[in-house]
Structure 1
Amino acid sequence: MPAPTTTDATSTRERAEEHLRALVGREDVVLYDDQWAAISALAVDKRRSLVVQRTGWGKSAVYFVATLLLREEGAGPTVIVSPLLALMRNQIAAAERAGIRAVTINSTNMQDWEPIQDQIRAGGVDVLLVSPERLNNPGFRDEVLPRLAATTGLLVVDEAHCISDWGHDFRPDYRRIRTLLGDLPDGVPVLATTATANARVTADVAEQLGTHVLVLRGSLDRESLRLGVVRLKTAEQRLAWLADHLAEQPGSGIVYCLTVSATQEVAGYLRSRGHDVHAYSGQTDPTERSALESQLAAGEVKALVATSALGMGFDAALGFVVNLGAPQSPVAYYQQVGRAGRGVDDASVVLLPALEDRDIWAYFASLAFPREELVRQTLAALAEEDRPLSTAALETRVELSRTRLETMLKVLDVDGAVRRVGGGWTATGEPWAYDAERYARVAEAREREQQAMLDYLATDRCRMEYLRQQLDDPGAVPCGRCDNCGGLTLSGAISEEAMTAAAERLARPGVVVAPRKMWPTGLAAMGLDLKGKIADAAEEGRAVARLTDLGHGAALRALFRADAEDGPVPVPLVNAVLEVLGDWRPPVSAIAVVESATRPTLVSDLAAGLSRYLQVPVAGTYAIVDESIPPGRGAVNSAQRVAAVSRRFAWRPDPDAPSLEGAEVLLVDDQSVTGWTLTVAARDLRAAGAAAVHPLVLATTG
């Protein structure tokens, strides 16, 4: 097509800036040069573009203004692939300010899908936001997606680093975008945006977008952020610091934690110290999440204590971010701190690292793409069937957790080896190669990122410069604002009152161990006549703490390390067990102990001590009867775990103890990982006559 004349370009830019003013509600704003370059590439040249710019730069303005220009020319609606509901809600609100008719299709509004599609066909929609998960839904993929590809005027891929498995937040559903890109008619512009892409991720995303891609990388400096690190030795000190210094932080903000359990624990403690905070995670009810986001954006709460579920795209004028525990890479950290400093001149960013951060990083690393034999086992299981297999059915054949199995299948789907259909998954029969070299390189990159995060904590250089260099920002220079530059002073002082309260909070043991209520599906295929509701389930049990907890969790993590020696229960944990019993007070007339191959002394000492304390007999052992089944068999998969426990263990009563007929049994184990050992043991104890079974464990991973 002929290049636009200078007059055409000038008038188009003027129209673009009129739309920008409507979008932001101000008459004095103009487009940055890079914003105009991106808009011109999309709306005038119909090119594919990748914009890598810092949070708050105005990436959404690019695609909304381009949408309005393209719609004026008669183009179809813009399709935005957006990863989070919070991000969708913010974008729809922003679009409406500029008179853009925006709607969303996601898992929470399925009842609206048909009316929305009718609106699209009638030309009544300017912007459609879809979650990446929708792209891989069979009905959406086969019925809706082809029509969208044929009629869309602009495709936007937000948070585009998720496309790349080199990115800090790779999501397999984003891989489906490659298929969508291939189905677009010639001349349909595409925009990919992100604030967190280093050179490797940028090159990977640009390559997936195709040829002749315009890449616009800007400075990743965040001029409003003042970064600092406070290094404290114990969890009690870190909690106390938060209690003492949270009110000093400007405005409202986010306290990030690495685990769901930590958000609940920290929020509870801070509320007890008078702070208006709430816990927020992926497990929070969607309606409550929306309400909490609105309260935070409006400054109606001091903070949300959140996991990274409150992350990409959350748009609010926040005055601070505090990280209780370090994310596993500088890039992920830059993503999180980017929530602060939008629409405010100064925002504080504080990192409180902990030694146990590395344990949590190791757990997340264990969720990487499975070994080749497990992938081949999955493909073979699908190939053997002439019908689709659900994920639940595959769990009975492949020893992977449902989450990892689902993630792996999504990758295989994009690679063409499997296909998601109504009723589950089928094998395509297409050849597939396990790219072990690439997976190893990604794992090595993750290890380098973790070391880089540790180096960030220790550096005496400018912290913003360090983060920008990790993102390959060529303009990285000292910021003059961080603690190392002298622009931020963070006191490590802690009041005795807050420290005492934190110590008491963390020393308080006791976590509910909820009983399993339903047997996993597909057990009949494994020779077990178990299905539906569990009629002879355990009662609600107790654990001293979760392994991820801030208080007793540290002692339990040390106790259960692979290289830790077996021995009696340490005295502090004995006291914690007794405190749990004192609060819980289950009726107990007998004790049953789960035999342990790895820690026999620990569990026998625990059972014997409880027998003396409660003055009830140890009635027997849930004993190992098949040593060919290793202790952890099936631990990541419910159906596999039930089968393994059923074969490995059996109830062996003590001939010198009273029978279990009518007994209230305290079932003692060292830890609960899946809950299935306690469940199957309770079933066997009830079969032996027990009236009820009350599980007690030292640790739970739940």
Structure 2
Amino acid sequence: MRGRAPAGTRRGVGPLWYEGSMATTPEPDPTAAPADGGLRERAEAHLRALAGDSARLREDQWTAIHALVADRRRALVVQRTGWGKSAVYFVATALLRAGGAGPTVIVSPLLALMRNQISAAERAGIRARTVNSANTTDWQAVYADVEAGLVDVLLVSPERLNNPEFRDRVLPELAAGAGLVVIDEAHCVSDWGHDFRPDYRRIRSLLLDLPDGVPVLATTATANERVTRDVAEQLRAGADRDETLVLRGPLDRESLHLSVVDLPEPTDRLAWLAEQLPRIPGSGIVYALTVAAAEETARFLAEQGMPVRSYTGQTDPDERRAAEDDLLGDRVKALVATSALGMGFDKPDLGFVVHLGAPSSPISYYQQVGRAGRGVERAEVVLLPGREDTRIWEYFASLSFPPEETVRRTIDALAQEGGPLSVARLETRVDLRRSRLEQMLKVLDVDGAVRRVRGGWEATGRAWSYDAERYEAVAKARETEQRAMLDYISLDACRMEFLRRQLDDPEATACGRCDNCTGRTWETGVDPGRRDAAAAHLDRPGVVVEPRRQWPTGMDTLGVSLSGRIKPELQAAPGRALGRFTDIGWGNELRALLAEDAPEAPVGDHVLQGLVRVLASWDWERRPVGAVAMPSLTRPRMINDLAGRLCSLGRLTPVGSLDYRSPEGPGPRRHNSAMRLAQVHGALVPGDGLAEAMADLQAATPGPVLLIDDHTDTGWSLTVGAAILRGLGAPAVLPLTLATTGG
């Protein structure tokens, strides 16, 4: 295996490996007799090819490599970011391949991480290929190269493990011929972990199919004792030999300087960012809790003249790659990102990580701040907590594993079908949002209750029990993590020691670097002009509400004869919302205004003037001539008053309102598209006199009408309402809501 050392080293941190600095250990005694037939010497030689002539294996690195290569064991390495976990599996790969073993299979969770791993392998002379959702056209060629022995490392996304073709045709051959299996970011295996991913649980099937003697390595930087025990136990699947070897090391990061800056108002936090980021050396990451917050913050910083880009799970893949390259090349000061930029992004000289809002877990926080300071002596880590953080945590907590009744209904629906059901058709039988339904199916697949096949999912008929005790315990563990994060924010002791203790690091001690240890804190005052600019930015109203253009699949199952594309003559036009519930600026006010326990009353002047500004900036093709109110069982006064006031201010004709067919309305709110559409399709009707008023309006002053509601979630109420109004003669319907869910 040939490779070249990195171009240089940084003062005080030693030679660089692609994961970060590789600290040196004392030279082995040159007079000692070689152990294991010179295995360590060959391992050291491979490491020098990877990381430079001065690199030496850490003792735990050597212990792991020896266990994998000489003893063919299963090992779990829990070490801090930048410690050199990837060096273990690349050196082990080189040694195993030299001995005639098959290729290493690495299960890797993110495309960014795969890109870095392939790049590192190439520098080391290791032939690496990948199979993931972004290179489907290359799969057959990759499989052929593996069979021909032309691949040393195959990186596989966990989602591929249950792709029917991959699972049934490719995976058995890989398992039979693998020389080493590596599970990167192994904390994702455990539902106790902060970043559990159901697809990772499928690794158990891979392990069960491995021939005896194939070594397995799992690596992570973020696992407490409970997660470590869980992962170690799962690694033993199919093994009949030794217990999993667990190697845990201290988790201090000597370059990180942790601080908390408590600024109560969003305007102050944005102004602080714009003022302080240019003063921090280097480039870095600003993390936000939601897509909306990341995009909003990036726009403000760009308006303030700072070169930044947003990076979220909704960013186009090519744009994400370009954004990563811009940060790596120091062409931007920062990426303003959600957790989509996390595991796998490697920039050794990242100078700072700032959080605009606190993650719900100190373990997750530790992982994200670990992006910084791998190859520099000092990196700033700043947390700017927000009052809205706990509400955002509550939302994500609501996406936990569904109750037993819902799970049973899903299994029964699949069993009764007698054949595969797509997720879209399953939605007509189970009231879960698609993302949550898919996640539940993945868990049930791992548990053996269902199976993914061509055409969808099917029940296996195997007995399955709902582990309520475990699910409840996991939920309580999440609540404990949230309380710990609040404790971190108000902490008056060492912050790094606190994070290390959350990860059960037995060597945790005061770092001597954080704000509490040193007494040095950030300036909290901001320039009044900058604060005014932030306030103006956050007060800027208006979010586009895209119309629905396609009816959900399988509506006939619910007795609704709608399918395919929504006819253009029935579609709504693109609408507007004053803001998102997740916005930094309008979000807090809208959440309070529309909370379940909020009083039912007309909106205040600030909200009304915000909607007026939305209307003033709306780039419609034709100005609306009238307004129609949506019906509401909880806020009829608010919506009807709002429609009337907007008509008065905008010189529009009040046309009337839609109504519900029965006093009960559509019934309890359904959460997925199909069931929500079935509800509102059968419930919405024109209100008294609406048809006549619409005909009179279009005869006198033909033009579009506004359709006014308090908020939109799935979008189907507005879609059905717009179709009714189009049927009554409206040439266009422009939805206008106070709030929209999302981001």
TM-score relative to the length of structure 2:
0.92
Residue 287 of structure 1 is matched in structure 2 by 318
Q: Aligned partners of 1:308, 1:237: CA distance in 2, in Å?
A: 23
Tell me whether 1:667 sits opposite 2:703 in the alignment: no
> What's the offset of the Cα at 1:6?
6.1
The amino acid across from 1:203 in the alignment is R
Q: Aligned partners of 2:450, 2:574: CA distance in 1, in Å?
A: 41
Equivalent residues in 2 for 1:136-535, closer than 5 Å: 136-210=162-236, 211-317=242-348, 318-486=350-518, 488-535=520-567
The amino acid across from 1:396 in the alignment is T
CA contact (8 A) 1:22 1:97 kept: no
SS of corresponding position for 1:698: strand
Q: Aligned partners of 1:141, 1:626: CA distance in 2, in Å?
A: 50
The amino acid across from 1:73 in the alignment is G
Q: Aligned partners of 2:33, 2:163: CA distance in 1, in Å?
A: 45
> What's the offset of the Cα at 1:663?
4.4
CA gap of 1:103–1:544, structure 2 versus 1, over 3 A, is same
Q: Aligned partners of 2:95, 2:549: CA distance in 1, in Å?
A: 55
Equivalent residues in 2 for 1:677-696, closer than 5 Å: 677-696=717-736
SS of corresponding position for 1:443: helix
The amino acid across from 1:35 in the alignment is Q
SS of corresponding position for 1:206: helix
> What's the offset of the Cα at 1:583?
1.0
> What's the offset of the Cα at 1:487?
6.9
CA contact (8 A) 1:617 1:657 kept: no
CA gap of 1:305–1:631, structure 2 versus 1, over 3 A, is farther
Tell me whether 1:64 sits opposite 2:90 in the alignment: yes
Residue 652 of structure 1 is matched in structure 2 by 687
Residue 590 of structure 2 is matched in structure 1 by 556
> What's the offset of the Cα at 1:294?
1.7
> What's the offset of the Cα at 1:162?
0.4
CA contact (8 A) 2:684 2:720 kept: no
Partner residue of 2:77 out of 51, 76, 85: 51
Q: Aligned partners of 1:144, 1:343: CA distance in 2, in Å?
A: 39
CA gap of 1:199–1:692, structure 2 versus 1, over 3 A, is same
Question: Which range moves more in the overlay, 484-493 or 121-130?
Answer: 484-493
> What's the offset of the Cα at 1:674?
1.3
CA contact (8 A) 1:672 1:697 kept: yes
SS of corresponding position for 1:129: strand
CA contact (8 A) 2:633 2:665 kept: no
Equivalent residues in 2 for 1:546-625, closer than 5 Å: 546-584=580-618, 586=620, 587-625=623-661
> What's the offset of the Cα at 1:615?
2.7
> What's the offset of the Cα at 1:529?
2.0
The amino acid across from 2:675 in the alignment is Q
CA contact (8 A) 2:43 2:91 kept: yes
> What's the offset of the Cα at 1:664?
1.6
The amino acid across from 2:705 in the alignment is V
CA contact (8 A) 1:166 1:442 kept: yes
SS of corresponding position for 1:270: helix
Question: Which range moves more in the overlay, 528-537 or 485-494?
Answer: 485-494
CA contact (8 A) 1:481 1:488 kept: no
> What's the offset of the Cα at 1:10?
6.6
Question: Which range moves more in the overlay, 124-133 or 280-289?
Answer: 280-289
CA contact (8 A) 1:387 1:426 kept: yes
> What's the offset of the Cα at 1:630?
5.2
After superposition, the C-alpha distances for 1:13-71 in whole angstroms (9 at most, x for unaligned) are: 111111111112x1101000001000110011110000000000000000000000000
Tell me whether 1:22 sits opposite 2:49 in the alignment: yes
CA gap of 1:631–1:311, structure 2 versus 1, over 3 A, is farther
Question: Which range moves more in the overlay, 336-345 or 530-539?
Answer: 530-539
CA gap of 1:56–1:403, structure 2 versus 1, over 3 A, is same
Q: Aligned partners of 1:628, 1:561: CA distance in 2, in Å?
A: 21
After superposition, the C-alpha distances for 1:449-504 in whole angstroms (9 at most, x for unaligned) are: 00000000000000000000000000000000100011753111211121011011
SS of corresponding position for 1:54: coil
Equivalent residues in 2 for 1:540-551, closer than 5 Å: 540-551=574-585
CA contact (8 A) 2:428 2:558 kept: yes
Residue 26 of structure 2 is matched in structure 1 by none
CA contact (8 A) 1:321 1:340 kept: yes
CA contact (8 A) 2:694 2:728 kept: no
CA gap of 1:38–1:139, structure 2 versus 1, over 3 A, is same
CA contact (8 A) 2:284 2:333 kept: yes
CA contact (8 A) 1:633 1:640 kept: no
Residue 16 of structure 2 is matched in structure 1 by none
CA contact (8 A) 1:227 1:488 kept: no
Question: Which range moves more in the overlay, 616-625 or 594-603?
Answer: 616-625
The amino acid across from 2:63 in the alignment is A
Q: Aligned partners of 2:68, 2:214: CA distance in 1, in Å?
A: 9
Q: Percent identity?
A: 61
SS of corresponding position for 2:480: helix
The amino acid across from 2:261 in the alignment is V
> What's the offset of the Cα at 1:299?
1.7
CA gap of 1:658–1:62, structure 2 versus 1, over 3 A, is closer
CA contact (8 A) 1:480 1:487 kept: no
Q: Aligned partners of 1:614, 1:118: CA distance in 2, in Å?
A: 67
Q: Aligned partners of 1:651, 1:43: CA distance in 2, in Å?
A: 74
Q: Aligned partners of 2:694, 2:631: CA distance in 1, in Å?
A: 20
CA contact (8 A) 1:161 1:201 kept: yes
Q: Aligned partners of 1:381, 1:99: CA distance in 2, in Å?
A: 51
Q: Aligned partners of 2:586, 2:441: CA distance in 1, in Å?
A: 37
Q: Aligned partners of 1:9, 1:556: CA distance in 2, in Å?
A: 67
> What's the offset of the Cα at 1:585?
6.1
Q: Aligned partners of 1:464, 1:543: CA distance in 2, in Å?
A: 42
CA contact (8 A) 1:626 1:649 kept: no
The amino acid across from 2:219 in the alignment is T
After superposition, the C-alpha distances for 1:254-299 in whole angstroms (9 at most, x for unaligned) are: 0000001111110010001111100001111111111211221222
After superposition, the C-alpha distances for 1:559-617 in whole angstroms (9 at most, x for unaligned) are: 11121111111111011011111111652222111111111221111111112112333
Q: Aligned partners of 1:63, 1:487: CA distance in 2, in Å?
A: 41
Residue 75 of structure 1 is matched in structure 2 by 101
The amino acid across from 1:59 in the alignment is K
Q: Aligned partners of 1:15, 1:689: CA distance in 2, in Å?
A: 81
> What's the offset of the Cα at 1:632?
4.9
> What's the offset of the Cα at 1:97?
1.1
RMSD: 1.4
> Where in structure 1 are there 5+ consecutive unaligned residues?
none
Q: Aligned partners of 2:67, 2:281: CA distance in 1, in Å?
A: 39
The amino acid across from 1:326 in the alignment is A
CA gap of 1:6–1:250, structure 2 versus 1, over 3 A, is same
Q: Aligned partners of 2:528, 2:599: CA distance in 1, in Å?
A: 36
TM-score relative to the length of structure 1:
0.97
The amino acid across from 1:305 in the alignment is V
Q: Aligned partners of 2:666, 2:722: CA distance in 1, in Å?
A: 21
Question: Which range moves more in the overlay, 525-534 or 547-556?
Answer: 525-534
Q: Aligned partners of 1:611, 1:291: CA distance in 2, in Å?
A: 46
Q: Aligned partners of 2:652, 2:137: CA distance in 1, in Å?
A: 57
Q: Aligned partners of 2:245, 2:284: CA distance in 1, in Å?
A: 35
